[in-house]
Each structure stands twice: as structure tokens, then as C-alpha cells.
Amino acid sequence: MTQLTIREAISQALWEEMERDQRVIILGEEVGLWGGTYAVTRGFYDHFGPERVRDTPIAEGVIVGAANGAAMAGLRPVAELMTINFAFLAMDQIVNGAAKIHYMFGGQFKVPVVIRAVGGGGRQLGATHSQTPDAVFAHFPGLKVVAPGTPHDAKGLLKAAIRTDDPVLFIEHATLYQTKGEVPEGDFVEPIGVSKVQRQGSDVTIITYSKMLQLSLQAAEQLALEGVQAEIIDLRSLRPLDMGPALASVKRTNRAVVVEEGWRSFGVGAEVVSRLHEEAFDYLDAPVKRVAQDEVPLPYNRELEQLALPQIDDILAAVREVL
């Protein structure tokens, strides 16, 4: 094992996959000479050259559309979008192109494209640059949606995404890049569509993913001081959504809290709670609680932004209520 930040883990995954497979290319705004908006591809342009690391215009529809075409022609492109908020400008290429081409052409074409996009709030970037619209993209069959919360999973899941023949939206949280954790040395992949128990416990189940995983782990440490052992299930992938570990956990703890950064209405948490009620209702000793962002466009002001985003105290309050 080695200690890496999530930024380093993602960069390593890209580098190793480009070395392993000459078909892997990178394209996006400032990914080449500048080394990426978040410095993930720094040094790639000099090493792999302009044929495989391509700077593009500020045109998200063009970026994803070109990546789709390259994928259909036999390459394995990784398209970087500066933020997931800009994915709205490429919505047709993502949900009507990448997600559907394989099905609409009866399997004659594959679209092995990875779309890397930075999501989440907490950096004072304003309402239009700080959204968590993960559930919007997870709604569409044909598109895999992955959102890791640890360096280990960021590397293993990105390598798996690049190797799969399906289109993958790979969501990286803007405030997690400096998060450190253990990552195995050498080549490894993590399976897409498999949830993971990140902390074992017996009193309550916390189901979460991405940035909220880190907050939930911190909340669990505080709960442990009160004698409450929380089990934490990391979804990691939103489509396919693996509810197996969450259902098994709830059937033991009999209580659940779902934590997400997105808005509460029509969100990931709503889907998870519905599945829990459909498949584990008889095991619940209390209503499932949801922790999510306040239903407002995210403010620019730092204090108001943090007030609107889910915090550790919100998770603690929800757990205490279901207990």
C-alpha cells in the first residue's frame, strides 16, 4: 500500500491505462499544455504527445461528441469536462448519444467512452457551478455513473471505467482531490456497480457516497464515543446501483440514514429509501431519514453555502432521531 491523494490516484490511473493501451486518449479543455484544471493531467502532454492528449475548444457538446465518435471508431477516449455543470451543454451527446448508441444499433457499435466531470459544492463557485446533479444522469439506462469517495476507489474504478465497453460518467468531487488514503501498488481494478462496506457497525446503517462518505466516517467516529456503532455503506456507483450490502446491513441494524449532497427531492436518497421500503420494510424499526442539501440554488457566500450543504451535525442529528 501507498498513501495517495485522490488527485494522485486519478492521475496514476490515467497514466497507467495510457501506458497499457495505446487506444486510450484524453481530450478536454486545458488537459494538455496546462495539465488540467485540477492538475490531474500535468505532464501527460509532454510524455504522450498531442495526438493522445488533445486540448479542445470551450465546447462541451463538441468534446463529448468527438469522444463518442472516437470510441465508435475503436479508440478508448477519456473526455474531461471542467465541471459537471457544463455537462448540461453536452446533454444530448451524453444521454441520447453515448447512453443509447449500442442499443439503437443492435450492438453493432460500442461506445467505450469515459466522461470525467467535477461535481459538488463547497468552493464558493456560485449556484451554476456547484451543483450535484448525479441523479439526473443516473436516471438514464445505458450510461454507467460512478462517484468514488476514497483514493483507493478513485483509482480502481477509473481503471475499470476505461476498460469497460460501456460509456461511463465518472464524477469527481471538487473538494476531495486532497483527501489521502491507502492505495495498492501495482495494477488493480474495482468492479463498477458494487457497493462497499466502508465501516462496520451494529446500531444504524448510513448509506452514502462521494464527499458525504468522508463526512459520514467522521460522524461515525463521534457516534462511537457515545457508544453507537454505525455501519457505513458506500454506494460508489449510482448506475448500476447495488443495494445488496445496504439491504443486508439494514436487516441487521434495523435503522437507516441516507446521506447525499444533492437536493433531497427526486434525488439519489429518494431512490435508495424506496428500495429499502420495497425490500426491507419489515426489518425497519424507525422511518428512514434522509440528509441532503437545502432546497435552494447554492449560495456564493461562504457561510450561507456551508449552511445549505449537509454537515456532520446534520448526520449526527438524523442518526440520533432514528435511534
Q: Which residues contact 308 (CB under 8 A, 6 or more apart)?
A: 121, 293, 294, 296, 298, 299
* E-assigned strand segments in 229-287: 230-234, 237-239, 256-263
Cell numbers standing for residue 151: 483514493
Catalytic residue list: 60, 129
d(CA 14, CA 293): 32
d(CA 204, CA 45): 48
SS3 97: helix
Q: Is the preceding peptide bond at 297 cis, omega within 30 degrees of 0?
A: no
Can you say how many angstroms the Cα of residue 162 is from the centroid of all Cα atoms in its chain?
15
Of 56, 50, 240, which is closest to residue 160 (Cα–Cα)?
240
Burial class (CB in 10 A: 0-12, 13-18, 19+), 312: middle
| Cβ contacts of 162-165, under 8 Å, gap ≥ 24 | 162/13, 162/14, 162/17, 162/21, 162/24, 162/76, 162/78, 162/112, 162/114, 163/17, 163/189, 164/112, 164/192, 165/110, 165/111, 165/112
Cell numbers standing for residue 82: 471542467
Please check whether residue 266 is in contact with residue 293, taking contact to mean a CB–CB distance below 8 angstroms.
no
